[in-house]
């Protein structure tokens, strides 16, 4: 056995199709995944490979066409709104475009205040709430005083994504699903965001599903890696194993095609 | 001596916003690109890379305004030239620019061959559609693009093919200098590699003489260009041969940028990324002293007093910092030592 650790979340035979007949797309095709407690797992694939569709199924935002999701060993039941809310206490997400996931008319304090309320802090005294929000912001090197009364669109993409991490800090879910959290952010702020994400994970012991098209990022952050091509997992294993000794031709291509700085980057393969 | 294809001296330009505020996006930039050479421009978003690219073509229209400086392209001094004249005699022929996200700006109702006809007819009057088609076909084939693409609409092409098509169209008039602004940032790795290969091919086959390549992805720059220029808040902060810029950066900002490189290569997991805290200054009101002072680990009181000029290092590169080279290197060595422990 790989580990004594508990399996937190597992997906068995997940398939998700869109459309019918000639229009049919199999976005996720019979995928199995086991997520162990405290692990950082990356799912890597090119655009259109089905990563976001799979994340939405795992989050319970869309229904799978077939297959089951198990949470802490029990088949997940999100058939009612109340059960969904209960499930979302355990699993939360950060998306690629931080601006799209938020009501832009909500001020930043209310984004954070909602998190405190969701965790049962609705009746805490105001000072306590401010203290919590200040702590969450300073965790990601943002200043709460400078954010109050601002709207999300007044922040840069990088600051907004850090605010999303502050949100997770307050929500303290058991599992965080991060879907391309840095793909719209420049290389410099990317390092800051990854570091803050990994710091949060270290502090909370949270389990992380990290979704990316960039195999370098996956290598940097994860314990294990799943490679996704056209809706299927074609290779998986430890990050070192998959990335330093890839077996599947698709994995090899993803690695070969990323620009290198230590080894030669061979342009003759395309 | 090598022929200088592009020379810019002390160029400053600004945006004037709707509220009549000035944004000083390019501040006294000087650079030189010689025939057969390529220059990379790095820096985080908002530091003025795209504005510099626009500015050095001499093609100004509101809200962008020319302030000072000279631009010489292939021996022609174009500073102060009227936009119309620049358009007629410079753009596309002497210097061509592929803007960020150009491939998504293609008119969806026109075929690729129609774009090509527009470009050629703007510059040549007596040419038949048949001639244009033959020329386009030849260019595409030389560049390894299928000629069928010419009869397609933009939506029928994949992202990578669209981008390579845009690049091919941009060199139709055989410009001396090509500026590519983030040409591959939105693409998957394999398409990105094809774009890079094509840019290199353009240089090698002599379609263009010199290239300026803009991206915040340093591993890409490293693999494409001869020299890297790092910009911060509208200014050049360092300019060095690619290898030194990536493996031995001197300016604290370049040092920070290079420390954020992530590649899937052995050893990466052992290095600690060096994130740069804070955000760049607002260019409406740039700080008096060093523009990077606010975020610099090595800041001294003198840094904030007056503006800092570029200086030459022992190996000939230039950097903009009041701290002498030897002291910077010592400071970096101490940091590394701290991280090792
Ligand atoms: N709501 C939808 N309706 C129809 N097709 C969809 C929908 N969402 C995704 N798809 C298709 O499913 C495939 C996988 O998409 P996605 O999960 O977004 O991939 P990734 O996140 O890896 O880029 C793509 O072919 C996409 O066009
Ligand atoms: N049309 C515009 N009007 C006013 N300011 C602008 C305009 N375009 C860009 N800027 C400002 O100029 C600065 C440089 O922008 P840009 O050249 O796009 O940077 P980069 O390409 O490095 O991301 C930024 O501060 C940006 O906000
Ligand atoms: Mg996606
Ligand atoms: Mg730009």
The tokens for B115 are 């774009």
Residue nearest to atom 1 of ligand 1 (CA): A18
- B276-332: pLDDT as tens digits: 888 899 999 999 999 999 999 999 999 999 999 999 999 999 999 999 999 999 999
Residue of A2 and B249 predicted with greater confidence: B249
> What b/e sequence results for A165-187 when a residue is b if at least 16 CB atoms lie within 10 Å of its CB, and e otherwise?
bbbbbbbebbbbbbbbbbbbbbb
Which segment of A39-53, A89-103, B94-108, B132-146 scores lowest on mean pLDDT? A89-103
The tokens for B22 are 């000035």
How many structural domains comprise chain B? 2
Would you say residue B13 lies in a domain? yes
Is the predicted pLDDT of residue B130 greater than 60, yes or no?
yes
The tokens for A100 are 């799209």
Q: What is the pTM of this model?
A: 0.94
**pLDDT for residue A1:** 46
Would you say residue B200 lies in a domain? yes
What is the domain-level CATH number for residue B130?
Answer: 3.40.50.300
**Inter-chain contact B219–A260, Cβ cutoff 8 Å?**
yes
B259–A contact, CB cutoff 8 A: yes
Q: Is A18 in the pocket of ligand 1 (CB under 6 A)?
A: yes
B276–A contact, CB cutoff 8 A: yes
Ligand with smallest separation from the Cα of B235: 2
Range of the domain at B266: 252-340
A109–B contact, CB cutoff 8 A: no
Same domain for B92 and B143, yes or no, is: yes
**pLDDT for residue B161:** 96
Would you say residue B273 lies in a domain? yes
Q: Is A53 in the pocket of ligand 1 (CB under 6 A)?
A: yes
Burial of B160 (0-12, 13-18, 19+ CB in 10 A): buried
- A163-178: pLDDT as tens digits: 999 999 999 999 999 9
B192–A contact, CB cutoff 8 A: yes
**pLDDT for residue B270:** 77
* Confidence label for B186 from pLDDT (cuts 50, 70 and 90): confident
Same domain for B208 and B101, yes or no, is: yes
Give the domain-ending residue among B168, B201, B216.
Answer: B216
- B283-299: pLDDT as tens digits: 999 999 999 999 999 99
Helix (H, G, I), strand (E, B) or coil at B98: strand
Partners of residue B279 in chain A, C-beta under 8 Å: 156, 158-159
The tokens for A99 are 């601006």
Is the predicted pLDDT of residue B123 greater than 90, yes or no?
no
Q: Which of B191, B246, B42 is nearest to A258 (CA)?
A: B191
Residue nearest to atom 11 of ligand 1 (CA): A27
Same domain for B211 and B257, yes or no, is: no
User: Do residues A139 and A197 touch, judged by C-beta distance below 8 A?
Assistant: no
**pLDDT for residue B72:** 97
Mutate to test the interface with B, among A187, A246, A267 (most CBs of B within 10 A): A187
For a ligand 1 pocket test, name from A16, A26, A27, A95 the mutation site with the most ligand atoms within 8 angstroms of its C-beta: A27
Is the predicted pLDDT of residue A85 greater than 70, yes or no?
yes
User: Do residues A70 and A33 touch, judged by C-beta distance below 8 A?
Assistant: no
Give the domain-ending residue among B189, B216, B243.
Answer: B216
Same domain for B90 and B8, yes or no, is: yes
Give the domain-ending residue among B192, B216, B240.
Answer: B216
Q: Integer distance in angstroms from the first to the last C-alpha of chain B?
A: 49
CA B189 to chain centre: 20
Question: CA-CA distance, B26 to B5, in Å (whole number)?
Answer: 21
Ligand 4 centre to CA of B335 (Å) is: 31
Is the predicted pLDDT of residue B145 greater than 70, yes or no?
yes
Q: CA Rg, chain A, in Å?
A: 19
Ligand with smallest separation from the Cα of B43: 2
Between helix B129-142 and helix B112-123 the angle, nearest 10°, is 110
- B43-102: pLDDT as tens digits: 998 999 999 999 999 989 999 999 999 999 999 999 989 999 999 999 999 999 999 888
Would you say residue B247 lies in a domain? no
Share of chain A above pLDDT 70, in %: 98
Q: Are strands A175-179 and A207-212 parallel, antiparallel or unpaired?
A: parallel
Would you say residue B85 lies in a domain? yes
B204–A contact, CB cutoff 8 A: no
Q: What is the DSSP letter of A119?
A: I
**pLDDT for residue B341:** 62
Question: CA-CA distance, B223 to B243, in Å (whole number)?
Answer: 10
Share of chain B above pLDDT 90, in %: 87
**pLDDT for residue B164:** 96
Ligand 1 centre to CA of B333 (Å) is: 48
* Confidence label for B273 from pLDDT (cuts 50, 70 and 90): confident
Share of chain B above pLDDT 70, in %: 99
Helix (H, G, I), strand (E, B) or coil at B70: strand
Peptide bond into B63 cis (omega under 30): yes
Nearest chain B residue to A253, by CA: B190
Angle B316-B322-B324 from CA coordinates, rounded to 5°: 55
Ligand 4 centre to CA of B252 (Å) is: 22
Same domain for B171 and B34, yes or no, is: yes
Span B133-140, average pLDDT:
96
Residues in chain A: 270
Q: Number of Cβ pairs closer than 8 Å across A and B? A: 115
Question: CA-CA distance, B125 to B128, in Å (whole number)?
Answer: 9
Span A15-28, average pLDDT:
95
Question: Look-up: residue for tokens 């805490």?
Answer: A124
**pLDDT for residue B262:** 93
B237–A contact, CB cutoff 8 A: no
User: Do residues A69 and A91 touch, judged by C-beta distance below 8 A?
Assistant: no
What's the mean per-residue pLDDT of chain B?
94
Partners of residue A186 in chain B, C-beta under 8 Å: 44-45, 216
- Distances in whole angstroms, Cα of residue B267 to Cα of each of A181, A243, B275: 24, 12, 18
Is the predicted pLDDT of residue A3 greater than 70, yes or no?
no
Q: Integer distance in angstroms from the first to the last C-alpha of chain A?
A: 40
Span A232-258, average pLDDT:
97
Complex ipTM value: 0.90
Which candidate from B44, B189, B275 shows the least CB-CB separation from A257? B189
**Shortest distance, CA B254 to any CA of chain A (angstroms):** 10
Which candidate from B259, B265, B279 shows the least CB-CB separation from A156? B279
CA B132 to chain centre: 30
Is the predicted pLDDT of residue B252 greater than 80, yes or no?
yes
User: Do residues B215 and B185 touch, judged by C-beta distance below 8 A?
Assistant: yes
Ligand 2 centre to CA of A127 (Å) is: 40
Same domain for B262 and B332, yes or no, is: yes
Is the predicted pLDDT of residue A2 greater than 70, yes or no?
no
**Shortest distance, CA A84 to any CA of chain B (angstroms):** 34
Q: Is A16 in the pocket of ligand 1 (CB under 6 A)?
A: no
Same domain for B51 and B124, yes or no, is: yes
Nearest chain B residue to A193, by CA: B275
Span A224-239, average pLDDT:
98
Nearest chain B residue to A267, by CA: B197
**pLDDT for residue A108:** 85
Is the predicted pLDDT of residue A66 greater than 90, yes or no?
yes
Residues with CB under 5 A from ligand 3 (ion): A 52
* Confidence label for B185 from pLDDT (cuts 50, 70 and 90): confident
Q: Are strands A224-229 and A207-212 parallel, antiparallel or unpaired?
A: unpaired
Same domain for B187 and B273, yes or no, is: no
CA A62 to chain centre: 16
A259–B contact, CB cutoff 8 A: yes
Helix (H) or strand (E) holding A54: helix A51-59
For a ligand 2 pocket test, name from B11, B12, B25, B97 the mutation site with the most ligand atoms within 8 angstroms of its C-beta: B25
Ligand 2 centre to CA of B23 (Å) is: 8
Span A264-270, average pLDDT:
93
Report the DSSP beta bridge partners of residue A182.
none
Candidates 3.40.640.10, 3.20.20.70, 3.40.50.880, 3.40.50.300; CATH matching A7-99+174-269: 3.40.50.300
B305–A contact, CB cutoff 8 A: no
**pLDDT for residue A109:** 86
Question: CA-CA distance, B57 to A19, in Å (whole number)?
Answer: 48
Is the predicted pLDDT of residue A73 greater than 50, yes or no?
yes
Ligand 2 centre to CA of A171 (Å) is: 36
- B80-92: pLDDT as tens digits: 899 999 999 999 9
* Confidence label for A268 from pLDDT (cuts 50, 70 and 90): very high
């Amino acid at each position: 056995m790989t580990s004594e650790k508990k399996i937190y979340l597992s997906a068995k035979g997940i398939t998700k199709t869109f459309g019918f007949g000639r229009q049919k797309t199999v976005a996720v095709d019979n995928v199995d995944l086991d997520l162990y407690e405290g692990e950082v797992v990356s799912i890597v694939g090119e655009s259109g490979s089905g990563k976001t569709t799979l994340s939405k199924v795992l989050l319970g935002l869309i229904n799978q066409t077939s297959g089951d999701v198990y949470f802490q060993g029990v088949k997940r039941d999100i058939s009612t709104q109340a059960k969904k809310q209960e499930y979302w206490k355990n699993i939360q997400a950060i998306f690629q475009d931080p601006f799209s996931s938020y009501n832009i008319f909500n001020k930043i304090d209310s984004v954070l205040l909602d998190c405190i309320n969701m965790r049962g802090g609705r009746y805490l005294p105001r000072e306590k709430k401010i203290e919590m929000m200040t702590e969450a912001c300073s965790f990601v090197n943002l200043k709460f005083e400078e954010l109050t009364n601002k709207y999300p669109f007044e922040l840069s993409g990088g600051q907004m994504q850090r605010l999303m991490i502050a949100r997770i800090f307050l929500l303290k879910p058991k599992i965080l699903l991060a879907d391309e959290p840095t793909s719209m952010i420049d290389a410099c702020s990317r390092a800051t965001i990854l570091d803050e994400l990994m710091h949060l994970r270290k502090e909370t012991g949270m389990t992380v599903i990290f979704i990316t098209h960039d195999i370098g990022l996956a290598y940097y952050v994860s314990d294990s890696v799943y490679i996704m091509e056209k809706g299927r997992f074609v290779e998986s294993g430890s990050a070192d194993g998959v990335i330093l000794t890839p077996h599947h031709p698709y994995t090899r291509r993803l690695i070969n095609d990323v620009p290198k700085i230590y080894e030669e980057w061979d342009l003759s393969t395309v | 001596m090598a022929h200088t294809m592009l020379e810019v001296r002390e160029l400053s330009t600004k945006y004037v916003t709707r509220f009549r505020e000035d944004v000083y996006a390019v501040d006294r930039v000087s650079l030189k690109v010689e025939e057969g050479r390529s220059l990379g421009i790095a820096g985080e978003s908002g530091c003025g890379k795209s504005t510099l690219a626009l500015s050095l073509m001499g093609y100004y229209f509101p809200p962008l305004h020319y302030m000072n400086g000279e631009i010489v392209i292939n021996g022609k001094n174009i500073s102060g030239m009227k936009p119309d004249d620049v358009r007629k005699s410079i753009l596309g022929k002497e210097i061509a620019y592929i803007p960020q996200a150009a491939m998504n700006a293609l008119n969806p109702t026109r075929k690729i061959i129609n774009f090509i006809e527009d470009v050629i007819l703007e510059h040549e009057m007596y040419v038949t559609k048949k001639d244009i088609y033959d020329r386009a076909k030849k260019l595409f084939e030389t560049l390894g693009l299928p000629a069928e693409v010419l009869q397609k609409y933009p939506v029928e092409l994949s992202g990578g093919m669209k981008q390579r098509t845009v690049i091919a169209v941009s060199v139709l008039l055989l410009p001396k200098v090509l500026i590519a602004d983030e040409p591959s940032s939105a693409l998957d790795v394999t398409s990105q590699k094809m774009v890079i290969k094509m840019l290199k091919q353009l240089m090698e086959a002599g379609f263009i003489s010199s290239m300026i390549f803009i991206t915040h992805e340093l591993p890409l720059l490293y693999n494409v260009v001869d020299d890297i220029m790092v910009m911060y808040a509208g200014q050049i902060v360092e300019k060095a041969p690619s290898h030194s810029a990536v493996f031995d950066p001197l300016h604290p900002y370049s040092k920070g940028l290079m420390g954020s490189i992530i590649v899937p290569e052995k050893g990466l997991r052992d290095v600690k990324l060096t994130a740069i805290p804070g955000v760049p200054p607002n260019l409406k009101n740039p700080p008096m002293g060093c523009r990077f002072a606010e975020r610099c680990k090595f800041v001294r009181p003198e840094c904030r007093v007056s503006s800092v000029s570029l200086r030459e290092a022992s190996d000939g590169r230039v950097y903009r910092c009041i701290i002498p080279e030897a002291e910077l290197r010592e400071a970096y060595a101490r940091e590394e030592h701290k991280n090792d422990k």
